Amino acid sequence: MRVLLSEIEISERVKALGHQLSEEYSGRPLTILGVLTGSIVLLADLIRATSVPLRVALIQAASYRGTETTPGRLTINQSLVPDLRGRDVVILDDIFDTGNTMVGLYEAVKDFQPASVRSAVLLWKTARTEVDLEPDYFGFQIPDEFVVGYGLDFNDDFRHLPYIGVMEDEDLKHATATPQDG
């Protein structure tokens, strides 16, 4: 697997994003809404890099299933979302690919009547964006390659990697052939 972004590069950028959020949301009621499951690693690191009081919330959204490397139909589970009324909300996701997931999340979050809604992602595949929406905050713009690590997975594997790696065809074949633990 080829390393696209090193652990150090990611760490430095996440700290910079935390600093930016701290400045922009100082004195405001901030909630960071992490998108399960891919944003968990980013969420943990980002809130530690943020110096303002904030709430953490979770929402579940999925468009990739199992061994798929292209997005399918979006499903959103809002049952974990607390009251966001009157709060500034930053939707935090691992990757902005086509943008359809973020558009769906914006619509779902607006129903909670927040004061504002913005988005933050670690990775943005600009070449694949299909929507008018762009992430308000992003870590890195990346090429159109299938990536794993730092929370991103392939068939629920590779989330543990401390870097972002590009899965080559041989990696995909091997990962698909390897039985997964239940």
The catalytic site residues sit at 97
CB 58 within 8 A of CB 36: yes
Look at residues 117, 147, 145 and name the one whose alpha carbon lies nearest to residue 133. 117
Characterize 105-143 residue by residue with b for buried, 16 or more Cβ atoms within 10 angstroms of its Cβ, and e for exposed.
bbebbeebebeebbbbbbbbbeebbeeeeebebbbeebe
Distance CA 170, CA 182 (A): 24
Omega before residue 178 within 30° of 0, cis? no
| C-alpha to C-alpha distance for 113 and 128, rounded to whole angstroms | 30
Amino acid at 61: A
> Which residues share a beta bridge with 88?
30, 116
Amino acid making up residue 177: A
